[in-house]
Chains A and B, each alone.
Chain A
């Protein structure tokens, strides 16, 4: 099934605009796409007329162009007839924003939509969803544009069972400088579900990392999802909610009692090499790290460098706790590194790993230490704990170190305190594709997730 009309529509019909209510979801969606996106946008309401000077068409078939995507925001009981119109008119796909289906007991109404879609092989998202946001292309979220926080265009795709969680994730992505390729709220997922989006996104050249927020799979649907995700060439990350809700059935065996719904979910994900994020923040960190470094890092040996012994110690504890090793460097490596340091820290820096360049280090010392670590075989990735208040470094250090990474290809993850004052330094890393964490622990988790290991 071709999902490209959903994600890259050339034309958009918004069905259900209101002549009297500017805050109506359909009006919000119509306005933002008309004014801000390179998609031909048409308003539809059976009453016709005009909206903000634009023609309102009485039906989707009255629109004088082929429609790639119809957004349907009318009362639930009218949706089946509208969907039938769309299929009849040769529309390419639909997003059903309206609620009032299975989530409120109207399984019959939802089933009508499913039956139609199956018969016509017609892709639709929802119902009861926000739909799709693709930076620079289309946005069917019924949130006024001035209220949304929009991340940069990038290569992380997010598919969410909850519209609210999705919008919140976009806020966090924007804050962390993580770019998004596609964001989809799938609502009741009556027809298009996680698996279909996974298939589309695996083939999508804009997407490098695929993240899901999942509350639950339908019967045996989880099996198909993990079986496919295991073979997916791109990293797949899942945040699961509803961890504490266990099946209500009488538990007749130890196995049924020990293998509760969430425990099974988590174990099966790990078995299939799917990354589970414990929290929203972890999800954002993992997306940031893996969008920079999608290739598998097979071993977990980390080189830690900082201008503070304490930062190094905290990082080593977190690394060991996360199953990563911080192997001490041998004398040869240390000697080589020491030669390249500036004279005033040469005798006071400790270079055994974790490396403490001390507060007297200057920018060139960080560059030299990272350069050496990039060339040795003892470690697989570098964790840099950057203290932007040290007098010897400048706002250029992020951009300079990212050059070192790009020359050698050894993944580098940085921690920088996330304060507005240090924004330029942070962007020096982020805009040059080095992930930056806002805490030491989350930098360690970013490093850990690069292994993407199955139950290690």
Chain B
């Protein structure tokens, strides 16, 4: 079996153990190393790095807070979409820098496409399972997902796509272009292979959204939660009163 693991992936996981999860820039790097497409990004620790990164990527762009204490970025308004210039970027940076354990910001190119969710979970009865669904912030409202036990075959991946109620939208609907099915299948197979190799570390992964278009799929947001063994004590044991 070919291996996608390399030293840097292992190093990222090891670095993340103390937090219990993999912060987004590290997660993006990890997926990039595994050959899965991510947007161009820069992890900027100060304003000048941010401006230099923005010059490289080009406005408008997406900016997100990086902090080991902020798992849910949107809850602290830690995501800015369509940042237009240096000034907006600077003020976003200043606002974020007041958040606990602030570790810089992630700036990324803007990507568009259909919002899907791809995820994984360590299931008690079946081990590693993978999920594909209609993504976005309302993902749990629609609950339109397909689930398979890993590892996936190409046939599994296609049947996941065909099993979604929203599958018609992805095929192109009323003039809106559809997605590249072949690229999505390749993506799912690559994801399945990577997760198979790191599953002993991982409790769950959310790629939400995975943005898919006629060109292919890009991981717009990534969260990797590590197995409870690696979770700091305070999260492992919820308050019992």
How far is it, in angstroms, between the C-alpha of A267 and the C-alpha of B129 when the chains are bound? 10
Complex contact B147–A259 (CB within 8 A): yes
Select B120's contact among A219, A252, A255, beta carbons within 8 Å.
A255
Q: 1/0 per position for A258-276, CB-CB distance to B under 8 A?
A: 1101011101100110000
From residue A241, how far is it (CB to closest CB) to chain B in Å?
14
* Count of residues in A whose CB is under 8 Å from the partner chain: 29
Within 8 Å CB of B125, what residues of A? 216-223, 261, 264-265
Inter-chain contacts of B119 with A (CB < 8 A): 253-255, 258-259
Q: Closest CB-CB distance, B150 to chain A, in whole Å? A: 10
Assess whether A253 is in contact with B204, with CB atoms less than 8 Å apart: yes
The reply to whether A222 and B126 contact each other, CB–CB distance below 8 Å, is yes
Q: List 17 A-B contacts (CB under 8 A).
A: A219-B125, A222-B123, A226-B149, A250-B238, A252-B225, A253-B119, A254-B139, A255-B119, A255-B206, A256-B121, A259-B129, A259-B147, A261-B125, A264-B121, A265-B126, A267-B148, A271-B148
Q: Cα distance A257–B123 when bound, in Å?
A: 12
Q: Are B208 and A254 in contact (CB under 8 A)?
A: yes
Tell me if B173 counts as interface (CB < 8 A to partner A).
no
The interface residues of chain A lying within 8 Å CB-to-CB of B133 are 258
- A254 and B163 form a contact (CB under 8 A): no
Q: B118: nearest residue on chain A (CB-CB)? A: A255
Q: Does A454 contact B (CB under 8 A)?
A: yes
B44 CB–A CB distance under 8 Å = no
- Expressed in whole angstroms, the Cα–Cα distance for A267 and B126 within the complex equals 11
Contact with B along A195-238 (1 / 0, CB 8 A): 00000000000000000000011111111001000000000000
How far is A263 from B129 in the complex, measured between Cα atoms in Å? Answer: 11
Nearest B residue to A454 via CB reads: B159
**Contact, CB under 8 Å: B140 / A254:** yes
Chain A residues with CB under 8 A of B140: 254, 257-258
Q: Tell me whether B203 is interfacial, beta carbon within 8 Å.
A: yes
Which residues in B have their C-beta under 8 angstroms from that of A218? Answer: 125
Per-position 1/0 for B130-143, Cβ under 8 A of A: 01010000011001
Whether the pair A268, B71 counts as a contact (CB closer than 8 A) is: no
A48 CB-CB contact with B under 8 Å? no
DSSP majority for the A interface?
Answer: helix
Known contacts A216-B125, A254-B119, A258-B131; A271/B205 CB under 8 A: no
Chain A residues near B204: list those with CB within 8 A: 252-253, 255-256
A254 touches B206 (CB 8 A): yes
Contact: A268 with B129, CB < 8 Å? Answer: yes
Chain B residues with CB below 8 A from A259, complex form: 119, 121, 123, 129, 131, 145, 147
Which size bracket describes the interface of B in this complex?
Answer: 20 to 34
- Among the listed B71, B123, B129, B143, which residue makes an inter-chain contact with A252, where contact means beta carbons less than 8 Å apart? B71
CA distance A152 to B127 in the complex (A): 39
CA distance A291 to B71 in the complex (A): 53
In the assembled complex, how far is the CB of residue A141 from the closest CB belonging to chain B, in whole angstroms? 28
- On whether the beta carbons of B148 and A219 are closer than 8 Å, the reply is no
| Interface assignment of B117: CB less than 8 Å from any CB of chain A | yes
- Evaluate contact between B131 and A255: CB separation under 8 angstroms: yes
Q: In the assembled complex, how far is the CB of residue A323 from the closest CB belonging to chain B, in whole angstroms? A: 12
Chain B's closest residue to A272 (CB) is B149
Chain A residue contacts of B127, Cβ below 8 A: 220, 223
Which residues on A are within 8 Å of B, measured CB to CB? 216-223, 226, 247, 250, 252-259, 261, 263-265, 267-268, 271-272, 454-455
A238 to B139, CA, bound (A): 29
In the complex, what distance in Å separates the CA atom of A223 from the CA atom of B123? 10
User: Which residues of A are found within 8 Å of B159, using beta-carbon distances?
Assistant: 454-455
Pairwise interchain contact A264-B203, C-beta atoms closer than 8 A:
no
Contact partner of B205 (CB less than 8 A), chosen from A247, A253, A265, is A253
Q: How far is A271 from B133 in the complex, measured between Cα atoms in Å?
A: 16
Task: Chain B residues near A255: list those with CB within 8 A.
Answer: 117, 119-121, 131, 204-206
For B231, the closest partner residue in chain A by CB is: A252
Shortest CB-to-CB span from B24 to chain A, Å, is 14
Add 5 more A-B contacts to A253-B119, A256-B203, A263-B145 (CB < 8 A). A222-B126, A223-B149, A252-B71, A255-B131, A263-B147
Quick one: which of A217, A218, A263, A264 has the most chain B CB within 10 A? A264
Least distance between A67 CB and chain B CB atoms (Å): 36
Top 9 A-B pairs ranked by shortest CB distance? A255-B119, A222-B125, A267-B147, A253-B204, A217-B125, A222-B126, A268-B149, A253-B206, A256-B204
Is the Cβ of A253 less than 8 Å from the Cβ of B225? yes
CB < 8 Å neighbour of B126 from A220, A247, A257:
A220
B124 near A271 (CB under 8 angstroms)? no
In the bound complex, how far is the Cα of B238 from the Cα of A252, in angstroms?
12
* A455 and B126 within 8 A (CB): no
C-alpha spacing A367/B104, complex, angstroms? 80
Closest Cβ–Cβ distance, residue B231 to chain A (whole Å): 9
B contact residues around A268 at 8 Å (CB): 126, 129, 147-149
| Interface hub of B131, B140, B163 (most chain A Cβ within 10 A) | B131
Complex Cα distance, B145 from A271, in Å, reads 14
Q: How far is the CA of A376 from the CA of B33 in the complex (A)?
A: 57
In the complex, what residues of A have CB within 8 A of residue B146's CB? 267
Assembly CA distance A411 to B115 (angstroms): 45
A249 to chain B, nearest CB (A): 8
List, in ascending order, chain A residues with CB within 8 A of B148's CB.
267-268, 271
Residue in A220, A221, A265, A454 whose Cβ sees the most chain B Cβ within 10 Å: A220
Known contacts A258-B139, A259-B145, A271-B149: A264-B123 contact under CB 8 Å: yes
